[in-house]
Amino acid sequence: DFRGRLSGSNEEKELAQQIAGLFKKWKLTPIISNGKSQSFIQSFEIITGTKLSGTNNFFLNNKPLLSEKEYRPLSLSQSGSFKSEAMSFVGYGIKAPATDKFATYDSYEKVDIKNKWAVMFKDLPSKIDKNYRNHLLPFARLAHKITLAQKLGAHGVIFIDSTDLSTKAYLSKMKYEGAPTNLPVIEITLEKFLSAFNLTESQYTKIKETLESNQPLESLGETCFAKGEINLQLDKKMASQIIGMIPAAKTADRKLKSIIIGAHMDHLGQGEIGNSLATTQEQSTIHFGADDNASGDTGVLELAHYFSAHRNKLKRNIYFALWSAEEMGVLGSHYFTEDWEKTKNRKINQDFWFALNMDMIGRFKDKLYIQGVGSSKGWTHIIEPIAVKNQIPISIQYDPYLPTDSISFYLKEIPAINFFTGVHSDYHTPRDTADKINFDGLAGIINLVKDFTEQTLITPEKEITYEKVEGSSKIKEGGRSFRIYLGTIPDYSQEGVKGVRISGVSKNSPAEKAGLQAKDIIVEFNGQPVDSINDYVFGLQTAVPKKEIAIKIMRANELVTLKITPELKQ
């Protein structure tokens, strides 16, 4: 019914109304100010996609292509009018440095793209082993390929949607892949690529075999030309998330710091946003998100219902939250923490003691992962006896820098942990369905979180205090896997910011040692301008470890130059 719970969709709004109705029925207190009244629903603006606006056209060898059938711009594209320039095919468009295990991979070894359209496949070679694939993967992201082409002087980038002759007329639908880059970026069908370069299917097959064998590709010549006009407009909508509160039983206890229990309500809709892992055959079908994260939502609702019926037990306030836009970069929980400080005019850690988060707790097999335990030294002596009581094997993970909503609170110096049953091959695909949920396991985990919460209610506040954790070079920088580690945490809610604003840095990380702070805006990295997250990602993937470089930031409208020494990710 809710068609994948995409943030900003009508289905999300309907679901929010239904959950707000449950909160009202259970007599939770609405805490969101809505003019003269209070509401359970908090709304905030997000970017949900990109759409064509005004004039859009594209020509190959002066022949027009059909929009949305033979070509389409990517959301990563710059808007504007682009003159006719030669096209140069560069295979997969990847340039990866050598390591002790792998040789250099260079799609550009025998091809020049200066002032040309760089034409390339979207993905990776298919006939490579898993380890080599994992090595190349960071260099194969679309934004990285585009930024690399720009650094090499490309006029624009043309992606070929499919590499398979059986689907040579296929063109995927437009979706939001991320912020615009500084080049025009077009996607065309394989059929139009073959036509433009006057290639037969047998000639194409030989080219593909050359690429699959990791041999450098000779230039296909400069007989093809492309031009066009692109006009894109960001599609913005209002996301809806739900927050309700049950007050402490005694009036005096309501002045104590509160607990907040949350889970993200949103998912991927029908794969409209760029982090869907659906196969070509699964494109545009509902991503149900049963484990991610209807399972966590079930936990929040069950606990809200339970504590509403046992409110006489509460020795402090408990907030219950169903976040939106987690799949877009924990935007909902981030908005809540920022808005709280803005409206209350004080730091949110003065009002909240700790945060519990449940993200993907529906596929219990042999253990429950409890993550972020390093956020307070007091967690372990509470967690372990509760796990024994509930007869649930656990695996404790200390790193609090997690790609889920707990990070929004940890960055505000609030201890935060996440409950998680592990990854699986159905993640972010339409195959994450309710029939695969371990309901007995889910019930057991929710009961464990209930017992855990009740135990904290009789625990002195001084026993659970914030601990700043040293950054691990095993973690991911902003949710992405890199060779280089700095310890910066990008703020993904930064529309309209030129550069990359950071929301925090890890303890003892290169970023902290260099003097970077929350809310700094990185505008230059290693001598290269940083206009967007794509430029920063490219810089991280091409930097040299243990070599001091300059990083320029804007801090309170002042340009500051710092020295930073990147570390090699373990």
Give 415's Cβ-side CA count (13 Å radius): 22
Asked if residue 453 and residue 490 are part of one domain, the reply reads no
Residue that is written with structure tokens 């969709």 in the block: 9
Specify the pLDDT at position 219. Answer: 80
Q: Domain for residue 506, yes or no?
A: yes
Confidence of residue 430 (pLDDT cuts 50, 70, 90): very high
Asked if residue 139 and residue 110 are part of one domain, the reply reads yes
Q: Domain for residue 392, yes or no?
A: yes
Asked if residue 524 and residue 409 are part of one domain, the reply reads no
Specify the pLDDT at position 495. Answer: 67
Name the range with the highest mean pLDDT among 208-222, 359-373, 481-495.
359-373
Asked if residue 194 and residue 152 are part of one domain, the reply reads yes
Q: Domain for residue 346, yes or no?
A: yes
23: its two tokens:
């909160």
Note the residue count of the chain: 570
Confidence of residue 120 (pLDDT cuts 50, 70, 90): very high
pLDDT tens-digit readout, 291-346 = 999 999 999 999 999 999 999 989 999 999 999 999 988 999 999 999 999 999 99
218: its two tokens:
């000779």
Asked if residue 128 and residue 33 are part of one domain, the reply reads no
Confidence of residue 494 (pLDDT cuts 50, 70, 90): low
Rounded CA-CA distance 330/492 in Å is: 8
CATH, residue 203 = 3.50.30.30
Whether 448 contacts 387, CB under 8 Å:
yes
Of 210, 230, 250, which residue constitutes the final position of a domain?
A: 230
Give 99's Cβ-side CA count (13 Å radius): 13
Asked if residue 167 and residue 127 are part of one domain, the reply reads yes
Of 463, 497, 529, which residue constitutes the final position of a domain?
A: 463
Specify the pLDDT at position 444. Answer: 98
Q: Domain for residue 469, yes or no?
A: no
Asked if residue 430 and residue 315 are part of one domain, the reply reads yes
Specify the pLDDT at position 472. Answer: 55
Q: Give me the sign of the Cα torsion angle 170, 232, 529, 151.
A: positive
Asked if residue 265 and residue 221 are part of one domain, the reply reads no
Residue of 533 and 11 predicted with greater confidence: 11
Q: Domain for residue 125, yes or no?
A: yes
Asked if residue 66 and residue 40 are part of one domain, the reply reads no
Rounded CA-CA distance 1/396 in Å is: 36
Whether 326 contacts 229, CB under 8 Å:
no
Label the pairing between strands 29-30 and 232-246. Answer: antiparallel
CATH, residue 30 = 3.40.630.10
Structural domain boundaries enclosing 174: 55-230
Of 208, 230, 252, which residue constitutes the final position of a domain?
A: 230
**DSSP 8-state symbol, 356:** E
pLDDT tens-digit readout, 460-485 = 999 999 999 875 544 344 444 446 78
CATH, residue 503 = 2.30.42.10
Specify the pLDDT at position 275. Answer: 78
DSSP structure string for 326-348: STTTSHHHHHHHHHHHHHHTS-G
Q: Domain for residue 456, yes or no?
A: yes
pLDDT at 231 over 90: yes
pLDDT tens-digit readout, 383-399 = 999 999 999 999 999 99
Residue that is written with structure tokens 């007329």 in the block: 169
Confidence of residue 504 (pLDDT cuts 50, 70, 90): confident
Asked if residue 301 and residue 270 are part of one domain, the reply reads yes
Q: Domain for residue 472, yes or no?
A: no
Question: Within a 10 A sphere around the Cβ of 199, how many other Cβ atoms?
Answer: 16
Please state the domain count of the chain: 3
Residue that is written with structure tokens 């079908």 in the block: 285
Mean pLDDT over each residue of the chain, to the nearest integer: 91
Asked if residue 184 and residue 258 are part of one domain, the reply reads no
Rounded CA-CA distance 306/299 in Å is: 10
Whether 159 contacts 117, CB under 8 Å:
no
Rounded CA-CA distance 383/354 in Å is: 14
Asked if residue 532 and residue 419 are part of one domain, the reply reads no
pLDDT at 351 over 80: yes
Q: Of the candidates 325, 404, 336, 337, which has an alpha carbon nearest to the alpha carbon of residue 48?
A: 325
Specify the pLDDT at position 483. Answer: 65
Q: Domain for residue 383, yes or no?
A: yes
